[in-house]
Amino acid sequence: MRIGAAGRERPVVRVDADHYVDVSDRFGDYDAAFFASGGIAEARALAAERVAAGAVSAFGGVRIGAPIARPHQILCVGLNYADHAAETGQAVPAEPILFTKAPNTLIGPYDDVRIPRGSSRTDWEVELGIVVGTRASYLDSDEQARAAIAGYVLVNDVSEREFQNDRGGQWVKGKSAETFNPAGPWLATPDEIGDVRALSLWLDVDGVRRQDGTTATMIFDPVYLVRYISQFMVLEPGDLINTGTPPGVGLGMTPPTYLVPGNVLRLGISGLGEQRQTVVGPR
């Protein structure tokens, strides 16, 4: 995890719901250098030593930031749940649909989501995020792809559907407004997650359940995605991959329903915690 004011977060290790161990004296941040140097194992060992010594702090009212520093890139996978493809009236893709999202969309899990100027169709998407742990290119096997995954995070792939679908060009335009990628509260390593194809995902808008899915309906699983993407580009340590959303987005409702200022979003994935965002208007 990372805590502190926006832009000044420091790295910590979560002990339980109320406590953490500060490791900022050893690590500058959870960034590319941290992941590339095998920092997770070192941070885990250091945290265990400090817990044993009683060097534990309470979260209190501290702000929780995204659990990783701004990545080199945020990559996204479209229509990666069979039931989500069905609700949008689109065919199940034969290969992963890839697009990018501006890295500066990354915010903390409890920060406000801001509707961009000119938006009338801002939507929600609970997703499983993959954090890349090593530089990866042309991976030859699932074993190599699995070894390249540092961990998983909860993300909200906020989207503007008019910008995405009606304004021409690439989906990136509908995905890259400021605040459009809340992440966290924590990163969990693969051994902490267990079966990544058996995670429940959910999202509420103003207390009403809108998304209630499972990674079991993923078309392309995380290991496949990392191996596949590495055939087209170099993945860098700390990169984030948003792996798609289950059904229940506003675009798929009858009639379509979108976010307005004052809405409150709550979302979660089993083993990866929960987020809460208040929707605010344009600047």
pLDDT digits (tens, 9 = 90+) for 110-161: 999 999 999 999 999 999 999 999 999 999 999 999 999 999 999 999 999 9
Give the per-residue pLDDT at 9: 98
Count Cβ atoms below 10 Å from residue 109 Cβ, excluding itself. Answer: 26
For β-strands 97-101 and 19-22, DSSP reports them as unpaired
Q: Is the pLDDT of residue 193 over 80?
A: yes
Give the per-residue pLDDT at 22: 97
Question: CA angle at residue 60 from 58 to 61, to 5 degrees?
Answer: 150
Q: Is the pLDDT of residue 88 over 80?
A: no
Give the per-residue pLDDT at 108: 98
Give the per-residue pLDDT at 83: 82
Distant-in-sequence, close-in-space partners of 195: CB < 8 Å, separation ≥ 6: none
Question: By the 8 A CB rule, do 256 and 124 touch?
Answer: no
Q: Which pLDDT band, with edges at 50, 70 and 90, does 168 fall under?
A: confident
Give the per-residue pLDDT at 84: 79
Q: Sign of dihedral through CA atoms 193, 197, 200, 203?
A: positive
Q: Is the pLDDT of residue 27 over 80?
A: yes
Mean pLDDT over all residues of the chain? 96
Give the per-residue pLDDT at 21: 98
Kindly report whether the peptide bond that precedes residue 185 is cis, defined as omega within 30 degrees of 0: yes
* Confidence (pTM): 0.96
Q: 136 in helix, strand or coil? A: strand
Letter for the amino acid at 277? Q
Compute the average pLDDT of residues 15-30: 97
Task: Pick the closest to residue 28 from 11, 6, 50, 5 (CA basis).
Answer: 11
Give the per-residue pLDDT at 82: 87
Compute the average pLDDT of residues 239-268: 96
Q: How far from 99 is each of 117, 169, 176, CA to CA, in Å? A: 22, 11, 11
Compute the average pLDDT of residues 60-83: 95
pLDDT digits (tens, 9 = 90+) for 32-49: 999 999 999 999 999 999
Q: Which residue has the higher pLDDT, 86 or 283?
A: 283
Residue with tokens 């939507």: 123
Q: Which pLDDT band, with edges at 50, 70 and 90, does 215 fall under?
A: very high
Count Cβ atoms below 10 Å from residue 224 Cβ, excluding itself. Answer: 14
